[in-house]
């Protein structure tokens, strides 16, 4: 039996999702950090990344014996099937569907605002940057509403929390962090951020940022 391989990057939000989930599940795995340049490119591409994800050439990639996958959300599904305990989707078809939708919204509705901000760091007062920050703020308010009746976004701690925690770390770095306007979400951030699996992944990522002279979110400066 070979050890599960995970390919990620030192500043990969999507790779961090997979690493956190693997630690939560208690999986033994080998982690390879693919080369990352100061220009924010993942070059040169790792041969396993090219083999498994030849068109998109992106991390994360997971190889587990005969299974080779890319895309963090697809990898979540595999991890839950392959290692059902501890469960990271809630029980019940409807709750699971809602949790999956939240996980997908984090990547596909919230995070695109952050990607826009990556290219607008010198123009944070521009209309597109203000709109992207407003998009993040609206999403924070929506999550605040969910937390009125539960501790985690989809009920029990789930992949949805992992995805949104990582997405919001990058939003904060790019100037669209949460504020006291969403106190339940701030408390959620503390709960999620205190989990050993999350610390194991986020702490070295923050150390990497600091070593490069890049900004570390204030709430993670410890
Ligand atoms: N939808 C993908 C996105 C993966 C992604 O954007 N990966 C980035 C790093 S965070 C990457 O490998 N970028 C390098 C490139 O596109 O060349 C997922 O969820 O895994």
Distance CA 164, CA 30 (A): 24
What is the Å distance from ligand 1's center to 37 Cα? 15
CB 9 within 8 A of CB 67: no
Does ligand 1 come within 6 angstroms of the Cβ of 57? yes
Does ligand 1 come within 6 angstroms of the Cβ of 14? yes
Model confidence pLDDT, tens digit, residues 159-180: 999 999 999 999 999 999 999 9
Does ligand 1 come within 6 angstroms of the Cβ of 8? no
Model confidence pLDDT, tens digit, residues 186-197: 999 999 999 999
pLDDT of residue 131: 98
Average pLDDT score, the chain = 97
**Beta-carbon contacts of residue 107 (< 8 Å; ≥ 6 apart):** 14, 72, 73, 163, 167
Percent of the residues in the chain that have a pLDDT greater than 90, as a whole number: 96
Locate 72 and state its tokens: 């963090």
Model confidence pLDDT, tens digit, residues 87-97: 999 999 999 99
Task: Assess whether pLDDT exceeds 90 at residue 40.
Answer: no
Task: Assess whether pLDDT exceeds 80 at residue 222.
Answer: no
Does ligand 1 come within 6 angstroms of the Cβ of 10? no
**Which sign does the torsion angle of CA 109, 7, 208, 160 carry?**
positive
Does ligand 1 come within 6 angstroms of the Cβ of 73? yes
Which residue has its alpha carbon closest to ligand 1 atom 20?
71
Does ligand 1 come within 6 angstroms of the Cβ of 159? no
Residue 20's nearest CA partner among 88, 95, 99, 66 is 88
Mutate to test the pocket of ligand 1, among 45, 59, 108 (most ligand atoms within 8 A of CB): 59
Model confidence pLDDT, tens digit, residues 202-218: 999 999 999 999 989 99
The three-point CA angle 184-159-171 to 5° equals: 55
Locate 118 and state its tokens: 């990556």
What is the Å distance from ligand 1's center to 77 Cα? 17
Domains and CATH numbers, the chain: 4-82 (3.40.30.10), 93-220 (1.20.1050.10)
Does ligand 1 come within 6 angstroms of the Cβ of 12? yes
Percent of the residues in the chain that have a pLDDT greater than 70, as a whole number: 100
Distance CA 184, CA 215 (A): 25
Provide mean pLDDT across the span 106-130. Answer: 97
Task: Assess whether pLDDT exceeds 90 at residue 1.
Answer: no
The residue among 39 and 31 whose pLDDT is bigger is 31
Give the pLDDT band (50/70/90) at residue 39. confident
Q: Provide the H-helix boundaries in the chain.
A: 13-24, 47-52, 72-82, 93-105, 111-118, 127-146, 159-173, 183-193, 196-211
pLDDT of residue 11: 95
Provide mean pLDDT across the span 142-164. Answer: 98
Does ligand 1 come within 6 angstroms of the Cβ of 9? yes
């Amino acid at each position: 039996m070979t050890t599960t391989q995970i390919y990620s990057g030192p500043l990969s939000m999507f790779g961090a999702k997979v690493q956190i989930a693997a630690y939560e599940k208690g999986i033994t795995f080998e982690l390879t950090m693919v080369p990352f340049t100061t220009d924010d490119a993942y070059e040169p591409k790792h041969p396993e990344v090219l083999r498994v994800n030849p068109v998109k050439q992106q991390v994360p990639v997971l190889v587990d014996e005969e299974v080779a996958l890319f895309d963090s959300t697809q990898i979540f599904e595999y991890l839950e099937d392959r290692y059902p305990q501890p469960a990271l989707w809630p029980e019940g078809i409807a709750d699971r569907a809602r949790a999956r939708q939240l996980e997908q919204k984090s990547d596909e509705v919230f995070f695109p605002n952050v990607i826009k901000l990556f290219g607008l760091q010198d123009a944070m007062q521009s209309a597109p940057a203000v709109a992207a920050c407003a998009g993040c703020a609206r999403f924070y308010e929506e999550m605040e509403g969910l937390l009125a009746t539960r501790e985690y976004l989809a009920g029990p701690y789930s992949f949805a929390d992992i995805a949104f925690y990582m997405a919001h770390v990058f939003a904060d770095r790019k100037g669209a962090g949460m504020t006291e306007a969403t106190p339940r979400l701030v408390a959620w951030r503390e709960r999620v951020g205190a989990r050993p699996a999350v610390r194991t992944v986020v702490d070295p990522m923050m150390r990497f940022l600091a070593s490069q002279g890049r900004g570390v979110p204030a709430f993670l400066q410890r």
